[in-house]
């Protein structure tokens, strides 16, 4: 193979050969077949359009739909079964030519690959393999540089179109497997070419080279493959790094600026790129046609509500922000009401309710200092504008809609991870009717976060019957669980009706499976089975009290029974949908609601029918915008009052005349996220993925990524009980969630979690591995910073109270804590240089499915457990005795009931 | 059974027992009714505790408790991988690696004809053998440990009824019963249960200081908290947490307080888990699941595909040694008759070999070992064919096995638990194995 024609201004030598003496001889580049560098069949991506690269930036482009010469399909979408992830093997000989996505970023790295969205704004699958190209106009200072590539699949770096170096397409196992799934367990730190750099991710190959630069501008392009035949589209962490005259390895970017390429730098880059894509409009989450369609629907709905008189008249002279209080107090008939909560309590309550997190100490202080009268309303607006909303509401819908993905061989009624659909829709504040419609249409990617993931139910004889049941309880508060197998004794829905709904979701008649019919019923039982196995039930909306003919302009494809079902459920002439949402959201904010239980109205009636109807009509009038509904409730005095201790009691609708919230415990997710937020620490969990090197069949494994919010976590799928399949760090996180009511399997929908108190809940704060990391005053802890910066014990404890309980301490609390920490306070700080600060030991072994049966993998997991148990190393900048006292205070504050409850 | 008897009996079973989707067909349901009606009343067992040893991966029955004289060669010829030995159970052969258990046959009852059809995937099969049922789309069933926890709470206040030594999973969890029927778990006997044991770097003194600081802070907030029943309930949970942590339950984990000879007799980590199981039972814990799947011994643990078969005897010997020690130990403490032993896994394995010389998954007929617990041990239940792959007599369904375990613990297996307003029977129409009780 002749080397490619080189630009005359660059001299380079293939790195593995050149650096063999300097670096470990494991260089993949050294072993890399040079054939990979140059396509034999002269295949290349379309040329980079120089004018579309902004100065100082990197242009990122995605290319799909490659064609192989071996008669592979030109029309990938049509020929490939997306659920089975066929596609073909990645090869530089067959490059895709169809540019499907592009954006601008700062670095020659993909730390977060943005998803692809379809025409309706849902996550969709790309063809596999696809190629990502990063290009920039680069001027490297004259002289010698070293460049290093990392990628999980094949990658190459081109300069002015000529290939400079490449990493392997086919991963080479370093050593010999002792059996199936028993490959050697690599220590990534030993494997990687440059030890001072961020840890090499498992399954990645490297290539290194030196180049001489002429100090003039050249086009540099980094191309890499993602996925392949039957593989998940796993981007890995592709990156180009460079070392120039100052000897520091950095991620390559125009201008060669930035920090050294360390683990921390990579973590920052992940956040930065995520933020870039979260706020960008290039993702087409709201394509113009969709936006227009929903705007039209909302205009019609608004007109319809305005022209239809309500069943229950409400006073016409009360402004809408006061209506809630007026109607609640009317029912209270003069009984006394609780006072409004303090400003600090309000901010904690509102912040947790909107963002799922407590307020930052600086926000509390600013809020307390603010003297404006409208500051509570302003705070509500600010919180609603922030990015917490989706994090607060995803877990709710995960429960209600039974989102139940499995990261290993899904067999337990598992769905796809439609959590990402929920997240996208909530982040972009899709109107509730659009959200429900997208869910019912079940489109987009089934395994990588589209609404189609909702359609899946592994090992279920009639998935669509389960989906109909879930949708019924979620959006209509009709409990059809019993109708799954027989006509229900206590519920009005018959099995045939549930199956008719199922047929609408299936878009075809459903055949009654024998296994869905209850057997052995005695004659005269109040439970009856009227269907026969094999009987066909046609798609039809079975309930008579709904409008079945959609309003003009309310459906895009009238022939689609799913869309018709969605239109019937969300029809503004059908008040049920809006009322169900109002009732659900009121319950979540107030702890009690108009109709209980919220997912099964059946024969229940509302405690405040006029308020429920008014709010539901407001919701339609506000274009089904749930943020606006939440704002309306939160500006009321009712929301802002001190809790009513009687409001948790179960009382009849007639007796329900509360005008304040009930006492509410933080949800499992809020507790876990709060812990890390107040300590300013990260989860540092293993990836929620067993197939780290991305070489296993896509149908058996799911990668849910590295979690950074509680709702990302998932059951850890170690039913095999193998130590080598354990994920100790993630397990410590799910331990906190489990005892607080989170379900590691969500096979069934659920709205009201078990929230009874049990001793394991405080215990996990008292002694758990996670709580220990939170209390530990390590150098990366926000509490340590507070301890170092405080001028007095009082100031330190005020900071702690603000951070943990979001208020100032009372006199008694101040006395108790000051007595505990005042000794030694003046002498608490020790000199300690950056170099002397303790380093946290890193887990550098790569344990995954490919090697989990190797004896070394079990040993490695035990090492990880030991690291977890060791916790975060305590700071040396504080004396041990004083640090421990300070930790004890943090510990005690976490254990107070106040921490676990909303004020 | 005549038609009238069937109808009469069926009428005596509450209709609510039948609200569930049933996995088995109508014939099966009728057969169960018949079995129930034809049998004399099955007396309830007297066991107060259960230790379930979980052999994750699926134990090969022909290489252990249902050994056969036909010798396999690890290649084309199907059969037992080892020699067989006689046991003190009439008609039962064990493999040569179970000599100690073979001598203790009077305390054992191998159930050799358990069967189910879920063999493709470990998680689904593990779920079946923990919940006793197929999965359902409309509710999550509780594990056997949670069923026991919900129906026989500990006699001793503040003792958790269900302790798991193994990795937490939904399959081992409480399902619709909620956290109160959940487990306390640990994965390492030297570290104790997650959340309840003091971290190693927190001294007793420091823990005491922390608790009194917390008490002061709670007192400072008291007027606020006391009038609120929800906060008060959480306050009680905090108190219970510390009494658990400072009380008798945590003492169970102080294995070092056992005689050195006892600890040595139990041996490795699996042995220490079984010793801990006994100490938990002594303190009133009802159900202990002990995971034994240290897969580094032979690679795949009990999931002995391919080369893992070659070292399987090491695991079998470990089981033989530890379980015998546990039986002797329970006897010497007068606990064996009160403690039902169950050795189970997600499925069995075929007598034939895969291309790598190991064994695949098999569910048509496999063995679950019962022992102690005051049941009629010293006999085998069910008989398999010459390769231990088909039932020749008395097939035992998973629901029947579950009904047997519950009945042995004095729990009415026909009882129902409530999922909201929906009654859910403890087992999927299972009937206890009469021979073990009469």
Any B CB within 8 A of A460 CB: yes
Is the model's pLDDT at B295 over the cut of 90? no
Any B CB within 8 A of A191 CB: no
**pLDDT at residue B136, rounded to an integer:** 78
Q: What are phi and psi of B86, to 5 degrees?
A: -75, 155
- Residue A563 sits in the same domain as residue A628: no
CA distance A242 to chain B (A): 41
- Residue A342 sits in the same domain as residue A466: no
Chain-centre distance of CA A232, in angstroms? 19
Q: What gap in Å lies between CA B393 and CA B382, rounded to an integer?
A: 5
Is the model's pLDDT at A192 over the cut of 70? yes
pLDDT digit string, tens, across residues A216-275: 999 999 999 999 888 999 999 999 999 999 999 999 999 988 899 999 999 999 999 999
CB A873 within 8 A of CB A784: no
- Specify the higher pLDDT residue, B17 or A629: A629
CB A412 within 8 A of CB B127: yes
- Smallest CA-to-CA distance from A447 within A473, A470, A415 is with A415
**pLDDT mean across residues, chain B:** 89
CA distance B281 to chain A (A): 20
**pLDDT at residue A46, rounded to an integer:** 92
- Residue B191 sits in the same domain as residue B79: yes
**pLDDT at residue A563, rounded to an integer:** 96
What is the distance in angstroms between the CA of the first residue and the CA of the last residue of chain B? Answer: 21
- Closest alpha carbon within chain B to A868: B199
Q: Give strand pairing partners of A135.
A: A59, A221
User: Which of B131, B194, B203 best tests the A interface by mutation, with the highest count of A CBs <10 A?
Assistant: B194
Q: What gap in Å lies between CA A148 and CA A109, rounded to an integer?
A: 12
Question: Does residue B12 lie within any of the structural domains?
Answer: no
Reported as a pLDDT band with limits 50, 70 and 90, residue B27 is very low
**pLDDT mean across residues, chain A:** 90
- Residue A813 sits in the same domain as residue A852: yes
Q: Is the peptide bond before B339 cis (omega within 30 degrees of 0)?
A: no
- Smallest CA-to-CA distance from B397 within B17, B18, B31 is with B31
Reported as a pLDDT band with limits 50, 70 and 90, residue B23 is very low
Alpha-carbon torsion (B115, B118, B123, B124), positive or negative: negative
pLDDT digit string, tens, across residues A605-646: 999 999 999 999 999 999 999 999 999 999 999 999 999 988
Question: Does residue A651 lie within any of the structural domains?
Answer: no
**pLDDT at residue B325, rounded to an integer:** 98
Question: Does residue A478 lie within any of the structural domains?
Answer: yes
Q: What gap in Å lies between CA B390 and CA B380, rounded to an integer?
A: 15
- Residue B270 sits in the same domain as residue B368: yes
Q: Using DSSP, state whether B354 is helix, strand or coil.
A: coil
Question: Does residue B16 lie within any of the structural domains?
Answer: no
Reported as a pLDDT band with limits 50, 70 and 90, residue A4 is very low
- Residue A498 sits in the same domain as residue A516: yes
CB A478 within 8 A of CB A546: no
- Closest alpha carbon within chain B to A642: B224
CA distance B309 to chain A (A): 12
pLDDT digit string, tens, across residues A700-735: 999 999 999 999 999 999 988 999 999 999 999 999
CB A736 within 8 A of CB A768: yes
- Residue A120 sits in the same domain as residue A195: yes
Token pair for A582: 């109002």
- H/E stretch holding A426 reads helix A419-427
**pLDDT at residue A92, rounded to an integer:** 86
Please report, for residues A76, A225, A620, A769, the alpha-carbon distance to residue A129 in angstroms, rounded to integers and kept in the order given. Answer: 11, 6, 44, 41
**pLDDT at residue A287, rounded to an integer:** 81
Which domain-ending residue is among A523, A548, A569?
A569
**pLDDT at residue B37, rounded to an integer:** 56
DSSP A658-687: --SPPP-BPPHHHHHHHHHHHHT----PPP
Q: Which residue has the tokens 């070659």?
A: B310
* Average pLDDT rounded to a whole number, residues B118-133: 92
**pLDDT at residue A648, rounded to an integer:** 80
Contacts of B420 (CB under 8 A, 6+ apart): none
**pLDDT over 70, % of chain A:** 92
- Smallest CA-to-CA distance from B49 within B262, B241, B269, B290 is with B290
Within a 13 Å sphere around the CA of A598, how many CA atoms are in the beta-carbon half? 27
Question: Does residue B287 lie within any of the structural domains?
Answer: yes
DSSP A516: G
Q: What gap in Å lies between CA B301 and CA B312, rounded to an integer?
A: 8
Tell which phi-psi region holds residue A413, choosing left (phi > 0), alpha (psi between -120 and 50) or beta. left
**pLDDT at residue A733, rounded to an integer:** 98
Question: Does residue A38 lie within any of the structural domains?
Answer: yes
Torsion angle defined by CA atoms of residues A396, A398, A399 and A404, in that order, rounded to the nearest 10 degrees: -160
Reported as a pLDDT band with limits 50, 70 and 90, residue B324 is very high
- Residue B178 sits in the same domain as residue B218: no
* Average pLDDT rounded to a whole number, residues B98-102: 98
- Residue A153 sits in the same domain as residue A40: yes
Is the model's pLDDT at A766 over the cut of 90? yes
- Residue A251 sits in the same domain as residue A265: yes
- Smallest CA-to-CA distance from A380 within A391, A367, A369 is with A367
Is the model's pLDDT at A550 over the cut of 60? yes
By mean pLDDT, which of A121-125, A422-426, A459-463, A879-883 is the weakest?
A459-463
CB contact under 8 A, A180 and B122: no
Strands (E), B87-173: 93-95, 108-115, 162-165
Strands (E), B213-303: 287-291
Question: Does residue B159 lie within any of the structural domains?
Answer: yes
- Residue A367 sits in the same domain as residue A242: no
Contacts of A25 (CB under 8 A, 6+ apart): none
CB B361 within 8 A of CB B347: yes
Question: Does residue A652 lie within any of the structural domains?
Answer: no
The CB density around residue A49, as the number of other CB atoms within 10 Å, is 12
**pLDDT at residue B91, rounded to an integer:** 92
Q: Which residues of A touch B128 (CB under 8 A)?
A: none
What's A210's domain CATH number?
A: 2.60.120
Strand order in the sheet with B287-291: B184-186, B162-165, B287-291, B49-54, B339-344, B366-372, B108-115, B396-397
CB A238 within 8 A of CB A222: yes
- Residue B237 sits in the same domain as residue B356: no
What is the distance in angstroms between the CA of the first residue and the CA of the last residue of chain A? Answer: 72
**pLDDT at residue B1, rounded to an integer:** 35
**pLDDT at residue B10, rounded to an integer:** 35
Reported as a pLDDT band with limits 50, 70 and 90, residue A71 is very low
Q: Using DSSP, state whether B348 is helix, strand or coil.
A: strand
CA distance B258 to chain A (A): 25
Q: What gap in Å lies between CA A229 and CA A89, rounded to an integer?
A: 5
Pairing of strands A205-213, B184-186: unpaired
Is the model's pLDDT at B74 over the cut of 80? yes
- Residue B355 sits in the same domain as residue B398: yes
**pLDDT at residue B20, rounded to an integer:** 34
* Average pLDDT rounded to a whole number, residues A481-508: 86
Q: Which residue has the tokens 């029974």?
A: A561
- Residue B208 sits in the same domain as residue B301: no
CB A754 within 8 A of CB A893: no
* Average pLDDT rounded to a whole number, residues A565-569: 97
Within a 13 Å sphere around the CA of A356, how many CA atoms are in the beta-carbon half? 21
CB A308 within 8 A of CB A150: no
Of A469, A514, A721, the CB nearest to B56: A721
Torsion angle defined by CA atoms of residues B186, B192, B198 and B200, in that order, rounded to the nearest 10 degrees: -110
- Residue A203 sits in the same domain as residue A170: yes
Q: How many domains does chain B have?
A: 2
Any B CB within 8 A of A893 CB: yes
- Residue B212 sits in the same domain as residue B306: no
- H/E stretch holding A221 reads strand A217-226
Question: Does residue B162 lie within any of the structural domains?
Answer: yes
Q: What gap in Å lies between CA B94 and CA B66, rounded to an integer?
A: 6
Question: Does residue B126 lie within any of the structural domains?
Answer: yes
- Residue A779 sits in the same domain as residue A695: yes
**CA angle at B239 for the pair B237 and B243, rounded to the nearest 5°:** 115
CB B263 within 8 A of CB B272: yes
Q: What gap in Å lies between CA B212 and CA A861, rounded to an integer?
A: 37
Please report, for residues B69, B94, B95, B327, B382, the alpha-carbon distance to residue B104 in angstroms, rounded to integers and kept in the order given. Answer: 21, 12, 14, 8, 19
**pLDDT at residue B28, rounded to an integer:** 47
Question: Does residue B8 lie within any of the structural domains?
Answer: no
**pLDDT at residue A809, rounded to an integer:** 96
- Smallest CA-to-CA distance from B336 within B271, B281, B297 is with B281
Q: Using DSSP, state whether B288 is helix, strand or coil.
A: strand
What's B183's domain CATH number?
A: 3.40.720.10
Q: What gap in Å lies between CA A700 and CA A515, rounded to an integer?
A: 26
**pLDDT at residue B35, rounded to an integer:** 55
Any B CB within 8 A of A178 CB: yes
pLDDT digit string, tens, across residues A142-159: 999 999 999 999 999 999
**pLDDT at residue A399, rounded to an integer:** 97
**pLDDT at residue A301, rounded to an integer:** 97
Question: Does residue B18 lie within any of the structural domains?
Answer: no
Rg value, chain A, Cα: 30
**pLDDT at residue A8, rounded to an integer:** 36
**pLDDT over 90, % of chain B:** 73
- Residue A116 sits in the same domain as residue A262: yes
Q: What gap in Å lies between CA A393 and CA A400, rounded to an integer?
A: 11
Selected residues 788-827 of chain A with any CB under 8 Å from a CB in chain B: 810, 812-813, 816-817, 820
**pLDDT at residue B13, rounded to an integer:** 34
Within A428-539, residue ranges assigned H as helices are 432-441, 463-475, 495-506
CB contact under 8 A, A527 and B15: yes
Q: Give strand pairing partners of B288.
A: B51, B163
**pLDDT at residue A86, rounded to an integer:** 60
pLDDT digit string, tens, across residues A783-807: 999 999 999 999 999 999 999 999 9
pLDDT digit string, tens, across residues B135-190: 877 788 999 999 999 999 777 877 899 999 999 998 999 998 988 899 999 998 98
Q: How many domains does chain A have?
A: 4
Please report, for residues A312, A314, A326, A468, the alpha-carbon distance to residue A610 in angstroms, rounded to integers and kept in the order given. Answer: 5, 7, 11, 30
* Average pLDDT rounded to a whole number, residues A130-136: 97
Q: Which residues of A touch B14 (CB under 8 A)?
A: none
What domain range includes position B234?
A: 198-247
Contacts of A279 (CB under 8 A, 6+ apart): none
Which domain-ending residue is among A620, A640, A660?
A640
By mean pLDDT, which of A191-205, A358-372, A754-768, B392-406 is the weakest?
A754-768
**pLDDT at residue B338, rounded to an integer:** 97
Q: Which residue has the tokens 């180049």?
A: A211
- Residue B284 sits in the same domain as residue B142: yes
**pLDDT at residue A68, rounded to an integer:** 58
Q: What gap in Å lies between CA B104 and CA B110, rounded to an integer?
A: 12
- Residue B263 sits in the same domain as residue B123: yes
- Residue B76 sits in the same domain as residue B178: yes
Q: Give strand pairing partners of A222.
A: A134, A157
pLDDT digit string, tens, across residues A39-65: 445 578 999 999 999 999 999 999 998
Is the model's pLDDT at B414 over the cut of 70? yes
What domain range includes position A603?
A: 303-389+574-640
Is the model's pLDDT at A2 over the cut of 70? no
CB A163 within 8 A of CB A464: no
By mean pLDDT, which of A177-181, A747-751, B161-165 is the weakest?
A177-181
Tell which phi-psi region holds residue A623, choosing left (phi > 0), alpha (psi between -120 and 50) or beta. left
* Average pLDDT rounded to a whole number, residues A565-590: 97
Q: Is A241 exposed, middle or buried (0-12, 13-18, 19+ CB in 10 A)?
A: buried
Which domain-ending residue is among A599, A621, A640?
A640
Alpha-carbon torsion (A8, A14, A15, A21), positive or negative: negative
- Residue A73 sits in the same domain as residue A151: yes
Contacts of B96 (CB under 8 A, 6+ apart): B82, B83, B84, B85
User: Which of B4, B170, B201, B236 best tests the A interface by mutation, with the highest count of A CBs <10 A?
Assistant: B170
């Amino acid at each position: 193979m002749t080397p490619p024609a080189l630009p005359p201004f660059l001299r380079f030598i293939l790195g593995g050969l050149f650096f063999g003496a300097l670096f470990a001889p494991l260089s993949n580049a050294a072993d890399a077949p040079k054939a990979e560098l140059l396509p034999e069949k002269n295949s290349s991506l379309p040329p980079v359009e120089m004018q579309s690269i902004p100065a100082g930036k990197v242009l990122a482009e995605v290319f799909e739909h490659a064609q192989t010469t071996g008669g592979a399909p030109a029309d990938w979408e049509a020929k490939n079964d997306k659920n089975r992830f066929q596609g073909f093997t990645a090869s530089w000989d067959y490059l895709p030519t169809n540019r499907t996505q592009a954006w601008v970023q700062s670095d020659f790295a993909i730390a977060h690959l943005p998803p692809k969205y379809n025409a309706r704004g849902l996550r969709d699958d790309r063809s596999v393999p696809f190629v990502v190209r990063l290009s920039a106009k680069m001027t490297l200072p004259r002289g010698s540089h070293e460049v290093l590539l990392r990628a999980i699949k094949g990658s190459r770096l081109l300069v002015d179109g000529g290939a400079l170096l490449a990493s392997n397409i086919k991963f080479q196992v370093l050593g010999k497997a002792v059996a199936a799934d028993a490959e050697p367990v690599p220590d990534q730190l030993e494997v990687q070419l440059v030890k001072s750099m961020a840890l090499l991710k498992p399954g990645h190959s490297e290539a290194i080279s030196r180049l001489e630069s002429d100090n003039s501008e050249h086009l540099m392009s980094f191309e890499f493959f993602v996925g392949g035949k039957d593989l998940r589209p796993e981007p890995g962490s592709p990156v180009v790094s460079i070392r120039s005259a100052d000897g520091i390895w950095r991620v390559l970017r125009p201008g060669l600026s930035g920090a050294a390429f360390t683990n921390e730098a990579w973590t920052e880059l992940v956040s930065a790129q995520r933020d870039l894509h979260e706020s960008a409009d290039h993702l087409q989450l709201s394509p113009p046609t969709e936006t227009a369609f929903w705007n039209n629907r909302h205009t019609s709905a608004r007109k319809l509500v305005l022209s239809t008189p309500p069943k229950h008249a409400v006073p016409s002279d009360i402004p809408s922000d006061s209506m809630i209080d007026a109607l609640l107090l009317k029912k209270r008939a003069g009984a006394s009401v609780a006072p409004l909560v303090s400003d600090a309590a309000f901010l904690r309550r509102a912040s947790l309710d909107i963002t799922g997190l407590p307020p930052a100490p600086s926000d509390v202080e600013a809020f307390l200092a603010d003297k404006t009268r409208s500051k509570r309303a302003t705070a509500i607006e600010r919180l609603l504008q922030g990015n917490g909303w989706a994090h607060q509401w995803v877990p709710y819908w995960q429960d209600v809609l039974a989102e139940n993905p499995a990261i290993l061989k899904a067999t337990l009624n598992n769905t796809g991870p439609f959590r990402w659909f929920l997240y996208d829709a909530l982040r972009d504040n899709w109107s509730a009717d659009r959200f429900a419609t997208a869910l019912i249409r079940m489109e987009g990617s089934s395994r990588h976060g589209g609404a189609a993931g909702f359609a899946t139910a592994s090992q279920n004889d009639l998935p669509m019957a389960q989906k109909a049941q879930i949708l019924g309880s979620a959006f209509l508060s009709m409990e059809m669980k019993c109708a799954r197998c027989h006509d229900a004794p206590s519920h009005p829905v018959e099995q045939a009706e549930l199956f008719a709904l199922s047929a609408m979701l299936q878009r075809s008649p459903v055949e009654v499976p024998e296994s869905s019919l209850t057997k052995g019923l005695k004659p005269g039982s109040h439970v009856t089975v009227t269907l026969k196995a094999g009987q066909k039930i046609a798609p039809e909306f079975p309930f008579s009290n709904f409008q079945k003919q959609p309003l003009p302009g309310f459906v895009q494809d009238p022939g689609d029974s799913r869309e018709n079902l969605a239109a019937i459920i969300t029809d503004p002439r059908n008040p049920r949908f809006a009322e169900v949402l109002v009732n659900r959201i009121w319950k979540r904010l107030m702890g009690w609601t108009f109709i209980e239980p919220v997912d099964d109205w059946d024969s229940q009636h509302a405690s405040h029918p006029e308020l429920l109807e008014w709010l539901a009509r407001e919701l339609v009038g506000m274009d089904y915008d749930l943020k606006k509904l939440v704002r309306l409730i939160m500006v009321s005095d009712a929301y802002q009052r001190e809790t009513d201790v009687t409001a948790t009691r179960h009382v009849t609708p007639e007796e329900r005349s509360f005008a304040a919230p009930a006492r509410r415990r933080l949800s499992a997710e809020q507790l876990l996220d709060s812990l890390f937020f107040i300590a300013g620490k990260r989860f540092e969990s293993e990836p929620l993925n067993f197939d780290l090197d991305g070489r296993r069949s896509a149908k058996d494994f799911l990668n849910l990524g590295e979690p950074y919010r509680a709702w990302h976590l998932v059951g850890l799928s170690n039913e095999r009980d193998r130590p080598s399949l354990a994920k100790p760090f993630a397990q410590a996180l799910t331990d906190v969630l489990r005892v607080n009511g989170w379900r590691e399997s969500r096979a069934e929908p659920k709205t009201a979690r078990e929230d009874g108190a049990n001793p394991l809940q405080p215990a996990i704060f008292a002694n758990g591995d996670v709580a220990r990391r939170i209390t530990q005053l390590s150098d990366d802890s926000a509490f340590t910073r507070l301890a170092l910066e405080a001028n007095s014990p009082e100031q330190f404890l005020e900071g702690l109270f603000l951070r943990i309980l979001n208020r100032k301490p009372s006199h008694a609390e101040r006395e108790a804590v000051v007595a505990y920490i005042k000794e030694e306070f003046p002498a608490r700080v020790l000199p300690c240089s950056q170099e002397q600060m303790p380093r946290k030991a890193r887990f550098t072994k790569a344990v995954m499915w490919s090697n989990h049966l190797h004896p070394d993998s079990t040993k490695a997991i035990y090492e990880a457990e030991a690291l977890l148990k060791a916790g975060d190393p305590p700071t040396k900048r504080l004396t041990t005795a004083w640090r421990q006292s300070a930790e004890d205070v943090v510990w005690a504050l976490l254990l107070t009931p106040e921490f676990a409850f909303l004020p | 059974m005549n038609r009238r008897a069937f109808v009469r009996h069926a009428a005596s079973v509450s209709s609510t027992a039948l609200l569930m989707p049933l996995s088995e067909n109508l014939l099966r349901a009728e057969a169960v009714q018949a079995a129930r009606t034809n049998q004399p009343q099955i007396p309830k067992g007297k066991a107060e505790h259960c230790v379930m040893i979980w052999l994750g991966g699926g134990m090969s029955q022909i290489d252990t408790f249902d050994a056969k004289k036909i010798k396999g060669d690890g290649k084309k010829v199907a059969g037992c991988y080892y020699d067989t030995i006689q046991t003190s159970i009439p008609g039962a052969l064990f493999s040569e690696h179970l000599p100690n258990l073979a001598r203790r046959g009077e305390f054992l009852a191998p159930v050799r004809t358990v069967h189910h059809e879920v063999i493709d995937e470990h998680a689904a099969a593990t779920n079946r053998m923990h919940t006793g049922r197929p999965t359902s789309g409309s509710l999550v069933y509780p594990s056997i440990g949670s069923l026991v926890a919900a129906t026989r709470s500990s006699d001793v206040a503040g003792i958790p009824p269900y302790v798991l030594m193994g990795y937490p999973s939904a399959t081992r969890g409480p399902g619709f019963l909620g956290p109160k029927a959940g487990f306390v778990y640990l994965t390492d006997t030297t570290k104790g249960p997650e959340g309840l044991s003091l971290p190693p770097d927190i001294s007793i003194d420091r823990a005491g200081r922390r608790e009194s600081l917390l008490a002061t802070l709670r007192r400072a907030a008291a007027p606020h908290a006391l009038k609120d029943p929800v906060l008060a309930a959480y306050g009680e949970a905090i108190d219970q947490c510390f009494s658990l942590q400072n009380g008798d339950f945590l003492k169970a984990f102080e294995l070092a307080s056992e005689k050195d000879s006892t600890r040595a007799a139990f041996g490795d980590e699996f042995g220490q888990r079984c010793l801990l199981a006994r100490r938990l039972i002594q303190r009133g814990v009802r159900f202990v699941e002990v995971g034994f799947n240290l897969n580094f011994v032979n690679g795949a643990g009990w999931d002995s595909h391919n080369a893992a078969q070659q070292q399987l005897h090491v695991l079998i010997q470990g089981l033989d040694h530890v379980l015998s020690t546990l039986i002797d130990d329970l006897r010497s403490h007068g606990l064996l008759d009160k403690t039902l032993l169950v050795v189970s896994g997600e499925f069995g394995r075929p007598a034939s070999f895969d291309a790598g010389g190991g064994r695949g998954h098999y569910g048509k007929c496999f063995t679950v070992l019962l022992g102690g617990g005051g049941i009629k041990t010293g006999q085998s239940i069910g008989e398999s064919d010459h390769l231990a792959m088909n039932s020749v007599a008395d097939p035992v369904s998973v629901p029947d096995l579950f009904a047997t375990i519950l009945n042995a613990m004095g729990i009415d297996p026909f009882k129902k638990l409530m999922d909201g307003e929906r009654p859910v029977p403890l087992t999927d129409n299972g009937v206890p194995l009469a021979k073990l009780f009469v």
